[in-house]
Amino acid sequence: MVTPILLWELLSHFGVSGGPWCQFIMFIGSEKKHAMITQMMWTIEYFNHQSSRWLNHYEVINPIMQPRHAAYATQLVQMWLAFADHAKVTFHPLLAHDQFTS
């Protein structure tokens, strides 16, 4: 089974921007399609969850007493948000045409 992060890396590696991938998704069976779309949505939610988790860490940290910890938490929040944004852009052509997301 392809894990959500590996699926995201695989599609990103091949520069998914619609086209053949959308056609491929249309031709696979509905169960596999549903599983693939679910993994894509789960990947985006996972990245958002990680960003909110690190944002909570940042809010607990006292930036004056622990500036390095605050800087690290800020970097990780930005990193996870960038992953989520990239996944949304990458998966958008596939999710936009899907009946399961509506």
Whether the predicted pLDDT of 92 surpasses 90: no
The answer to whether residue 69 sits within a structural domain is yes
Distance from C-alpha of 101 to C-alpha of 96, rounded to nearest angstrom:
8
Whether the predicted pLDDT of 65 surpasses 80: yes
Per-residue pLDDT at 93: 76
Residue range 75-87: average pLDDT? 95
Residue range 50-58: average pLDDT? 94
> Which tokens in the block code for residue 74?
């800020």
Region of poorest pLDDT, from 66-70, 71-75, 91-95: 91-95
The answer to whether residue 62 sits within a structural domain is yes
Report helix, strand or coil for 19.
coil
**Domains of the chain: total:** 1
The answer to whether residue 25 sits within a structural domain is yes
Amino acid, res. 17: S
Query: Which residues constitute the domain of residue 32?
Result: 4-96
pLDDT tens digit sequence for 5-42 = 555 555 555 555 555 555 555 556 667 777 888 888 99
Distance from C-alpha of 51 to C-alpha of 16, rounded to nearest angstrom:
24
The answer to whether residue 85 sits within a structural domain is yes
28: left (phi over 0), alpha (psi -120 to 50) or beta: beta
Q: Which of 101, 95, 84, 89 is nearest to 22 (CA)?
A: 95
**Residue where the block lists tokens 């959500």:** 4
The answer to whether residue 102 sits within a structural domain is no
The answer to whether residue 101 sits within a structural domain is no
